[in-house]
A and B are shown apart, each in its own frame.
Chain A
């Protein structure tokens, strides 16, 4: 399995990481190397094996569906790069 520069560009886009065009060939090469390493997994007979979903089999705990926390607007916004009037501020999303 080899990743070409177009696939690298698409993956970067999906991951929302800006990668300059001149860096795409090296990125493609790095990703291909890692994926080649993963190809070994195809040697394993996994017929009838369930994918692991939980490290330790346990039933997730349940609790009453009630509000347990809240009223923490200043704390929630304290680390925001741009917070105004009690909201997170971002560039315009819709025209």
Chain B
């Protein structure tokens, strides 16, 4: 395999600018790598013609001296993003064959910046899952293995295809989305960097909705610097998204000084869970020590409502999902069930949704329907929204006391085996999000940075949580952590 696909976005940009490589060469290397990597199940719709056309345009733009930082950079796009004329199915059978007539704002911004789309990436159905096992396309597979054990591991979810593709060097970066941890958990499971920006930073327009008050897109990349570059290209105000923030996007890359002297890093005691593996505990302590050595001050903090984040999330997210997914009715797009003689419109809805939605999506839509139904709305939905307000206040209080960022583990374990959770009850799978979901509830930016490996050689990540709209400061702290950790491991190629 060509070495070109191993480049970071920053290095590729510099080599493109120096005319050492062309966008067409770089794109072709990625397309070759993708062709040889079907065993990973990462790319589910390949778009080589689109990619080569965009790459040629990028080369022309570079030659004309009008290149932007993302010009000529080959990316994978999560299947949740609507891409004009290219299948966009949210990994669901109910959107079988759906080819949008429009482009999502984020992919449009990336294309306007000259980026190249290699294809669409696998994910959990409607982004509901933590292992990429609910996809209609089948599993995405983690490029990492436990030593010489050939057990197939999950790349995490829901952005499992994005994580697998970036980790295996099939593309230089990928878009992800994060509703409860769907960028940060798969990034941690595959040894890459994943940034979930502040709620409102990236437009949700054209991104298939799961839970609209929690969904936020972001970059999944090989370095913190790349997160700064690609993140900036994805962000910005969009009049087509009513919750999009009308704020300028700073030059994040210019803010990566690595200088965090005097920064206060909060270590929340509630994230020290019973039964947490020693390795995670050690990773966390090591990460804190690295930040201290870099000149930051560590401070023990309390986020007292942490324990209630997961149950609140599993009321609010399904409630919003049941409403958002009402649009899949077999009328306007996607799948419609074959009807029997005499079937009316209700049978059409019920059969279409039973055939089109997988078991986890059905479960969540029904939970959401239940908690919003007459008599239960106050007991569940309104109570969850009140608890959510308290969770947000926990963070506000901590930030108001002078804390700049919060350090936590990204996940409670390393990647687990595909199928290992098949017999567990749904709540066991939900526990994967225990460290990440608070950030979505509070609308904060969070980033997962790989900082070590477990004793089986699998990557582990730490999460940094920042103040709203302070992605630049957060990225700089993450940069200091990345530099100190010096994580260089890559998966051994077996695919």
Contact = CB atoms under 8 A, between A and B. Distances in A.
Interface of A: 3, 7-8, 11-19, 27, 30-31, 33-35, 37-44, 46, 49-56, 58, 60-61, 63, 72, 75-76, 78-82, 88, 90-93
What is the predominant secondary structure among interface residues of chain B facing chain A?
Answer: helix
Nearest to A42: B383
Interface in B316-375: 322, 329-336, 339, 343-351, 353-354, 357, 362-363, 365-367, 369-371, 373
B245 A58 contact: yes
B109 interface: no
A78 to B, nearest CB: 6
A84 B449 CA distance: 52
Contacts of A50: 386, 389
B305 A33 contact: no
Contact of B353 (A18, A79, A80): A18
A16 B329 contact: yes
A12 B366 contact: yes
A44 B425 contact: no
A41 B312 CA distance: 7
A82 B311 contact: no
Contact of A91 (B245, B312, B314, B344): B344
B384 interface: yes
Contacts of B383: 41-42, 44, 46
A67 B198 CA distance: 31
Contact of A81 (B336, B344, B363, B386): B336
B353 A41 contact: no
Interface of B: 97-102, 198-200, 213, 239, 242-243, 245-246, 305, 307-308, 310-312, 314-315, 322, 329-336, 339, 343-351, 353-354, 357, 362-363, 365-367, 369-371, 373, 380, 382-390, 392, 425-427, 430, 442-443, 468
Contacts of B200: 55-56, 58
B354 to A, nearest CB: 4
A79 B329 CA distance: 13
5 contacts: A17-B350, A34-B427, A44-B308, A52-B392, A91-B339
Contacts of A90: 331, 345, 348
Contacts of A58: 200, 243, 245
A92 B369 CA distance: 26
What is the predominant secondary structure among interface residues of chain A facing chain B?
Answer: loop
Given A52-B389, A82-B336, A41 B331 contact: no
B365 A17 contact: yes
Contacts of A42: 383
Contacts of A7: 370
Contact of A34 (B314, B330, B385): B314
Contact of B390 (A16, A46, A53): A46
Nearest to B246: A61
Contacts of B322: 15
A37 B314 contact: yes
A36 B325 CA distance: 24
A52 B426 contact: no
B351 A41 contact: no
Contacts of B314: 34, 37-38
Nearest to B237: A61
A5 B245 CA distance: 45
Given A56-B468, A91-B345, 10 more contacts: A15-B362, A15-B366, A17-B354, A17-B366, A30-B426, A39-B311, A56-B243, A61-B246, A81-B330, A81-B331
B369 A15 contact: yes
Contacts of A82: 336
A89 B166 CA distance: 43
